[in-house]
Structures are given as structure tokens and as C-alpha cells.
């Protein structure tokens, strides 16, 4: 176990993630998994891994890590400002979407994501992680998964598998989706809301607030008026559901969502727009656009096609 | 009886068993849950990621790359799941609870709303034989029923951002135990020192749907010195 990263700064919310942990929602275990699947896949492809290999996800400010041991092929995906610091302390600006060799003693300083929230660090051969009930994903709230279910912490070591075989540099061009329209389908309790509020939901802007994390995104905007009942019988939750509690301000449930919830849901974000959604920073303004199942399914086809293109 | 199947976004469906929340309806939900579980394990249907039972609904999530809602809905409609066995478990668990004012965050509001005093609320809660309807929200969290209607109360208009682990809350005829620190909107009446969930166990959750639960009051000093190991 001589190949590892030493964590010199953990970052704000750095966790190991893969595509998620499934089949346990009936015991209250959320799927979790990477927030932005496109960037996660891309990070793995850049270093030649299987696309489902565990990667390090960071939000806003990422970690500062020093490589100890053999050099390794690594890559950063996302709109990310990062530096590579060599043994002499010289600083070189890093380039996202381009894999590179990091040598022993060199550090990777992931300073921040730019106008976005999440980015990924991958390494050829993968990090040394153990699966818990089928996945390496970390669910911090329940202390489940890699790194004892915790975010990265200062001074800890994260080990990776020996990776010297691959030194093939890959480079992709990735266009971030900047538009602010999020397509949704009607939620199970859409009819609970007044005609006026249904209209407001699709015409007014909603602002992403600071109370946003891997579990949910709280929005602020025109109050949504519930005409029927502010409480429903608690029912299973699906990622991307937009629930509206009694105060009339919507909350979008994200990857670490509660498995069951008792607030009415006005809409559901379609899968093809989820990656775009989770990258919206607090203060961003969103607009929701109503769509139907057939449009959502064909948008998903295009989304997958785009992912497979890389 | 299964009343209606609807889409939830593009990668989920809900099987709705009607508005009634009682053991009979819940057992129908569990039957369909068991049927889907068998079908997944026997590879009769592919792409199913999660199937989550609640009081009166079963929500099924799937991988849109492998299966679409139309196919899944047809699969459910063309199979007779009603013969699937519901295994009624007879486990009765006694759960210690401390109703000290430090933990019973919403008892004052409940006293006002229900016109019952603190002792009456506590007595009513302890005398209830609870049935476990479902597990969820966060890992291992049980949803229990049924309280008598004199304790009924709505959830909070704005959910709390943080509720401590072990907190016991009520809403309408239901009672829950927060197994992790989390946000939530239930009326908190006390706290248990008992751990209901451990991911390292083969069965991670201490309770399963269909179990029975009774609460037993403990003093604050016993709450503070409670050791979970003694119970396992």
C-alpha cells in the first residue's frame, strides 16, 4: 500500500461516488451516486477506466492532494480551476478534460469549480475502495460507503490501485449546458395546486438558494398555493421530484434524497436535464418547462448518445 | 386492490392502492413489492433499480436505458401478483423512549392543539400497539400506526433543517423514529437511545414492515447511560 494521495486540504464536500447503490430503497437507503453522470463518465473515460469505476466528486472548492508512490495517470472533469504543483514548488495551471501524468511528490490543487458545482477526479486503475451493499458511493448523512461514509478529511491517505501500465493521454471537448430551462413532467399531486400557481410555476423564475446539497435543492420564488392538502400519505421518492411543503417554496430532491416523503409533488425533472440542474449554483435562476413522457424519453436517447460519443 | 398506475417522471411509476391507510391496504402493497422482488431476482424483468413500498403505494424506479415505463406497466398488469405470499412477522419490539422536555420539542404545541396535557399525551402514546407500515425516509426509519385520533396533528409548515437522531415524532395517526440526524417536519415528542439501523448487519434495519412496536418510558438518567450492545 505505497501508492496514495495525502490530503493536504479536503475541500468542502469531497466524496467517492459511482453510479449509485440500488435495490435498498425499501430499507431507507437512497441511491446516492454521482450528481453529474456526464462528468463522472467522462472522468473515467479520460483515464481509460470502466465508466462505472469509483471517482472522487468535489463541490465548489475541491481538495489539495499530494501523490506518494508511483506516478499515475489522472484526469479532472468539470468547469474546474486547478493547479499542478511540482517538486520544486512550481505551479502549472491544470487543464480539465485532459488526462495527465502526476509524479511522486507532485500535488494537485483543485481550487474551485467555475459557475458550476460539481467536478470529478479520476485515476487510471481506480481508487482502492470497498463496496458496501454493491456500491462504493458515499452517503454521508447515513455514514454509508467509502471512507467510512465520510467526506474527505485533512491528513488522511487515499489509496489507489497500481496504475503505471497506462500513460495514454486523452483529451475531450465538453460543452457545458448553460441554459436555465429545466424540463419537467407533471408530478403526482400536480392537481393539488391552484390554476394560478400551476401557471406561475411554468412562467416565473425560481432562484437556487444556499440550502442546497447532494440531498436537495431549495428554491425561492413565487409561492405555490396548494388548494387540496399540504400533507399527503408519505410515499416513495424518485430523484428529481419537486416537492412543495406548506410554505409554498419548491424543493427538488437530488441523489441523496430521502427515500420517502410526505409533501405534495408538483413536477419531476426529466432524466436528460438532471446533470444540467445539479450544476446550478446558489443565486442561479431556473425556469421550468412542461413536457411529456415521449419527449422525455427521446431527450434521454439524445443524452445517452452524447455520452457514448466520448 | 391496485387502483391505478401512473408515471413519476420518465424513470419511475407508482402503483396506487387507493387512499385508505390501514393494515389491509398495506399488506396488498407488500404483496406487489414481494412479487417485483421475485421477478427481479428471477430475471423476469430487467432494469429495475428500486421498489419502495409505502402505506398505500409502491413506487418502482428503473434504468431508462434498459426498460421503459410502458413495458413495466404491461408486465405488472399481465401478472397475478395477488397470490404472492405476505409473510406476517410476529416480532414485537419494545423501544425505550425519554419524554423529557429537552427532547419533546413540540409537546407544548401539541398540548394546545389536542387539548390534552403532557401526561395524557405520553400515556396515550405508550398504550398504543404500533404496526410497522414501512421503513424509509432515511435508513431504517420506521413508520408506525395507529394513534387514536385525539392525538392527530398536521406536520410542520416549514420542515426543521435538523432533527437529532433518535427523535420520536408524530403526525396524524402515525409515529416515526429518526434513525439519523436529518431534516424533517414531524412533531417531536421524545427521543430513544436505541440504534435501529446498522449497515454492517446482514439485515441492516432492526424493524421490517409488519412488525409490532411498543414504547416504554425511560428516565433521562437511564437514557444517558443506555448502552445499545445490551440489546443485541
Q: Report the C-alpha gap between B123 and B3 in whole angstroms.
A: 38
3-state secondary structure of B124: helix
CB contact under 8 A, B12 and A233: no
Q: Could you state, in order of their start, the residue ranges of all structural domains in chain A?
A: 4-159, 181-309
B59 contacts in chain A (CB < 8 Å): 235-238
Q: Is the minimum CB–CB distance between B5 and chain A shorter than 8 Å?
A: no
8 A C-beta contact, residue A73 and residue A53: no
- Enter the DSSP assignment of A98: B
Closest by CA position to A74, among listed A129, A126, A12: A126
Residue with cell 425499501: A26
Asked whether residue A215 carries a pLDDT value surpassing 70, the answer given is yes
Q: Domain A4-159, CATH 2.20.25 — does that match?
A: no
pLDDT of residue A102: 94
Closest by CA position to A211, among listed A219, A221, A222: A219
Closest by CA position to A166, among listed A131, A124, A197: A124
Best of A135, A230, A260 to disrupt the B interface (most B CBs within 10 Å) is A260
Q: Which residue of A has its CA nearest to B136?
A: A28
CB contact under 8 A, B10 and A185: yes
pLDDT of residue A115: 95
Q: Report the C-alpha gap between A33 and A10 in whole angstroms.
A: 19
3-state secondary structure of B43: coil
Written as tens digits, the pLDDT of chain B (232 aa) is 899 999 999 999 999 999 988 989 998 998 899 899 999 999 999 999 999 999 999 999 999 999 999 999 999 999 988 777 666 555 789 999 999 999 999 999 999 989 999 999 999 999 999 989 999 988 999 999 999 988 888 888 888 999 999 999 999 899 999 998 888 889 999 999 999 998 888 888 988 877 889 999 999 999 999 988 644 4
8 A C-beta contact, residue A110 and residue A92: no
3-state secondary structure of B206: coil
pLDDT of residue A273: 97
Of residues B208 and A190, more confidence is placed in A190
Q: Which residue of B has its CA nearest to A218?
A: B161
CA distances from A108 to A147, A192, B180 (A): 20, 50, 34
Is beta strand B212-217 parallel, antiparallel or unpaired with respect to B92-97? parallel
Residue with cell 502549472: A92
Ramachandran sector of residue A255 (left: φ over 0; alpha: ψ -120 to 50; beta: rest): alpha
Best of B10, B58, B207 to disrupt the A interface (most A CBs within 10 Å) is B10
3-state secondary structure of B5: strand
Q: Report the C-alpha gap between B33 and A303 in whole angstroms.
A: 31
Find the distance separating the first CA and the last CA of chain A, reported in whole Å: 33
Asked whether residue A83 carries a pLDDT value surpassing 70, the answer given is yes
Q: Which residue of B has its CA nearest to A291?
A: B9
pLDDT tens digit sequence for A271-290? 999 999 999 999 999 999 99
Closest by CA position to A72, among listed A2, A138, A130, A12: A2
Ramachandran sector of residue A10 (left: φ over 0; alpha: ψ -120 to 50; beta: rest): alpha
Helix (H) / strand (E) element for B113: namely: helix B107-114
pLDDT of residue A295: 98
User: What does pTM read for this prediction?
Assistant: 0.89
CB contact under 8 A, B157 and A247: yes
Asked whether residue A76 carries a pLDDT value surpassing 70, the answer given is yes
Tell me what percent of the residues of chain A surpass a pLDDT of 70.
98
- How open is the CA angle A157-A158-A164, to the nearest 5 degrees? 120
3-state secondary structure of B58: strand
CB contact under 8 A, B10 and A293: yes
What was the ipTM of the complex prediction? 0.95
How far is the alpha carbon of B27 from chain A, nearest alpha carbon, in Å?
A: 15
- Enter the DSSP assignment of A186: E
pLDDT of residue B178: 94
How far is the alpha carbon of B157 from chain A, nearest alpha carbon, in Å?
A: 4
Residue of A31, A260, A297 with shortest CB distance to B137: A260
Tell me what percent of the residues of chain B surpass a pLDDT of 90.
69
B 63-92 residues with CB < 8 A to A: 64-65, 68-69
Predicted confidence band of residue A164 (pLDDT cuts 50, 70, 90) = low
pLDDT of residue B230: 45
Q: Is the minimum CB–CB distance between B204 and chain A shorter than 8 Å?
A: yes
Q: Is the minimum CB–CB distance between B147 and chain A shorter than 8 Å?
A: no
CB contact under 8 A, B155 and A260: no
How far is the alpha carbon of A94 from chain B, nearest alpha carbon, in Å?
A: 34
Instruction: Please give the mean pLDDT across all residues of chain A.
Output: 95
User: Going by C-beta distance under 8 Å and a sequence separation of 6 or more, which residues neighbour residue B88?
Assistant: B210
Burial class (CB in 10 A: 0-12, 13-18, 19+), A220: middle
Assigned CATH for A181-309? 2.40.100.10
The mean pLDDT value for A162-183 works out to: 83
Closest by CA position to A38, among listed A251, A278, A289: A278
Residue of B50, B57, B138 with shortest CB distance to A142: B138
Amino acid at each position: 500500500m505505497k501508492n496514495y494521495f495525502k490530503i493536504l486540504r479536503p475541500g468542502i464536500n469531497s466524496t467517492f461516488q459511482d453510479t449509485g447503490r440500488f435495490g435498498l430503497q425499501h430499507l431507507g437507503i437512497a441511491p446516492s451516486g454521482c450528481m453529474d453522470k456526464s462528468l463522472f463518465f467522462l472522468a473515467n473515460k479520460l483515464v481509460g477506466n470502466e465508466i462505472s469505476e469509483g471517482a472522487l466528486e468535489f463541490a465548489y472548492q475541491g481538495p489539495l492532494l499530494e501523490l506518494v508512490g508511483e506516478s499515475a495517470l489522472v484526469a479532472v472533469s468539470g468547469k474546474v480551476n486547478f493547479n499542478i504543483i511540482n517538486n520544486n514548488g512550481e505551479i502549472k495551471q491544470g487543464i480539465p478534460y485532459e488526462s495527465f501524468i502526476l509524479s511522486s511528490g507532485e500535488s494537485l490543487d483543485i481550487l474551485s469549480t467555475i459557475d458550476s458545482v460539481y467536478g470529478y477526479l479520476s485515476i487510471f486503475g481506480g481508487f482502492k475502495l470497498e463496496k458496501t451493499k454493491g456500491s462504493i458511493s458515499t452517503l454521508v448523512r447515513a455514514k454509508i460507503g467509502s471512507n467510512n461514509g465520510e467526506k474527505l478529511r485533512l491528513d488522511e491517505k487515499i489509496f489507489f490501485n497500481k496504475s503505471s501500465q497506462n500513460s495514454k493521454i486523452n483529451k475531450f471537448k465538453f460543452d457545458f449546458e448553460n441554459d436555465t430551462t429545466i424540463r419537467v413532467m407533471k408530478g403526482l399531486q400536480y392537481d393539488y395546486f391552484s390554476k394560478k400557481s400551476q401557471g406561475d410555476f411554468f412562467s416565473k423564475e425560481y432562484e437556487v438558494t444556499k440550502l442546497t446539497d447532494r440531498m436537495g435543492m431549495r428554491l425561492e420564488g413565487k409561492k405555490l398555493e396548494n388548494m387540496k392538502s399540504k400533507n399527503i400519505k408519505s410515499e416513495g421518492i424518485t430523484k428529481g421530484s419537486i416537492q412543495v411543503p406548506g410554505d409554498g417554496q419548491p424543493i427538488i430532491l437530488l441523489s441523496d434524497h430521502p427515500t420517502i416523503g410526505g409533501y405534495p409533488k408538483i413536477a419531476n425533472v426529466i432524466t436528460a436535464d438532471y446533470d444540467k440542474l445539479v450544476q446550478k449554483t446558489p443565486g442561479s435562476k431556473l425556469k421550468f418547462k412542461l413536457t411529456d413522457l415521449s419527449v422525455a424519453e427521446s431527450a434521454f436517447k439524445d443524452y445517452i448518445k452524447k455520452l457514448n460519443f466520448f | 386492490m391496485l387502483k391505478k398506475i401512473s408515471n413519476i417522471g420518465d424513470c419511475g411509476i407508482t402503483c396506487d392502492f387507493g387512499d385508505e391507510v390501514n393494515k389491509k391496504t398495506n399488506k396488498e402493497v407488500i404483496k406487489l413489492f414481494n412479487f417485483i422482488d421475485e421477478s427481479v431476482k428471477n430475471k423476469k424483468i430487467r432494469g429495475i433499480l428500486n421498489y419502495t413500498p409505502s402505506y398505500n403505494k409502491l413506487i418502482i424506479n428503473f434504468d431508462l436505458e434498459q426498460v421503459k415505463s410502458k413495458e413495466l406497466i404491461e408486465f405488472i398488469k399481465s401478472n397475478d401478483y395477488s397470490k404472492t405470499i405476505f409473510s406476517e412477522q410476529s416480532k414485537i419490539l419494545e423501544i425505550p423512549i425519554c419524554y423529557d422536555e429537552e427532547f419533546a420539542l413540540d409537546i407544548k404545541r401539541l398540548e394546545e392543539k389536542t387539548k390534552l396535557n403532557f401526561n395524557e399525551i405520553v400515556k396515550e402514546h405508550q398504550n398504543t400497539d404500533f404496526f410497522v407500515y414501512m421503513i424509509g425516509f432515511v435508513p431504517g426509519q420506521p413508520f408506525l400506526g395507529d394513534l387514536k385520533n385525539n392525538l392527530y396533528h398536521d406536520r410542520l409548515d416549514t420542515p426543521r433543517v435538523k432533527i437529532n437522531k433518535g427523535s420520536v415524532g408524530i403526525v396524524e395517526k402515525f409515529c416515526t423514529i429518526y434513525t439519523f440526524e436529518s431534516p424533517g417536519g414531524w412533531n417531536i415528542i421524545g427521543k430513544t437511545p436505541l440504534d435501529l439501523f446498522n449497515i454492517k448487519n446482514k439485515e441492516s434495519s432492526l424493524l421490517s414492515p409488519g412488525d409490532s412496536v411498543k414504547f416504554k418510558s425511560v428516565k433521562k438518567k437511564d437514557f444517558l447511560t443506555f448502552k445499545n450492545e445490551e440489546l443485541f
